[in-house]
Amino acid sequence: MTTATSTILATEQPILHRTRGSSHGPITRLVSPGDLGEVLKPFIFLDRFESPANGQAPRFGMHPHSGIATLTYLIEGSTHYEDTTGTEGARGLLPQGGVEWMMAGGGVWHRGGPADHERVLGFQLWVAMPPALELAEAYSLYLDPAEVPQVGPARVLLGSYGGATCPIPAPSDMTYLGVHLKAGETWHFELAQGHTVAWAAIGEGSLSAPDALRTGDLVVLATDGGPITLKAITDTAFVVGSAVPHAQPLHMGSYSVHTNAQALALGEAGIRNRAQLLREQKRL
C-alpha cells in the first residue's frame, strides 16, 4: 500500500512542459490526443484516477475504441473489467498492482469499475498503434502483480527495461514503468537509445525536477541530459514513459485514433458492428 509521500527528483534535464490536466470527479485527464498527445506520441492519452474509501469511485461504462491500445495500472485498490475481445469476450477482477492491456485494433468495447469500497488509485494510458496494427484483431491481456517484471523499484508495465521485458507485446519501441520508492531510496532512469520522448506523472508524492512538483502533476522531460536521478524523501509512487516518436499523424474520432482518415472510417465501422452484437447479447 502506498503512503503519503515527498520526493526529490535531481536531474540536469529541464522540464519542457508541465500540466495538472482537467479533473472530472475522481478522474484527471493529463494528456489528450488533441494536446500533449501530439508531443508525447505514441503516448497519446493519460488519465490519473483516484477515490478515497467509500468515496466517489471512477467508473468506465461500456464504451468503444479502435486504432489504439489502453493500459490500466492499479497502484491501489481493485477493479472489475469486461471487454468484447475473443469469441465470448473477457471479464474478471484486476487486483492491486495488476495491469490490463486491451489492443482495440479494428473495434472493441469494454468497461470497468471498482470491485469494492476501498481506496482506488491508478493510471490509464492510451498508446497509438503503427499502421500495421491499427486495424488488427482486437485482443486483451491481464497480468497479475506477480506476472509484471520488476527491476529494482521499477515495474515494467510495457516494453523492456534493465534486462527485463513485459510479457505484453509492445507495438513499437517504448518503455512504460510504474515506480515505487521508499524514503531515502535513489533510482536512476536510463533512457533507451533513440528514445526522444520522455515524461513522468506523479501518482502520489511531491517531486523536484528541479522545480517543485506534487501529486497529480505530469511533466514532459528533455532527453539530452543523460540518466534521470530520483531520490525519495518518503514513500512515493509514479509512472514514467519514454519512446521512439510515433511518426504518423493522429486522425481522431470520438473514441478512436488512427493514422489516416480511411483507417478511422474502417475502425468506426468495426465499432458499430461490435455494438450490434452487444445489443443482440443484451449487453448494451
pLDDT tens column, 226-249: 787 777 777 889 999 999 999 999
Tens-place pLDDT, residues 153-188: 999 999 999 999 999 999 999 999 999 988 888 888
7-280 homologous superfamily: Jelly Rolls (2.60.120.10)
pLDDT band at residue 54 under the 50/70/90 scheme:
confident
Tens-place pLDDT, residues 65-123: 999 999 999 999 999 888 888 755 688 889 999 999 999 999 999 988 878 888 999 99
Question: Residue 89: what pLDDT?
Answer: 61
Supply φ then ψ for residue 277, to 5 degrees. -65, -40
Residue 118 neighbours by CB distance under 10 Å? 15
Alpha carbons 12 and 210: distance in angstroms, whole number: 8
* Conformational region of residue 6, where left means phi above 0, alpha means psi within -120 to 50, and beta covers everything else: beta
Question: Residue 1: what pLDDT?
Answer: 40
Task: Give the DSSP letter string of 243-281.
Answer: EPPP-S--EE-SSBEESSHHHHHHHHHHHHHHHHHHHHT
pLDDT value at 4 more than 50: no
Q: What's the whole-number mean pLDDT along residues 10-33?
A: 84
- Structural contact between residues 143 and 167, judged by C-beta atoms closer than 8 angstroms: yes
Query: Which residues, in sequence order, are CB contacts of 55 under 8 Å at separation 6+?
Result: 26, 119
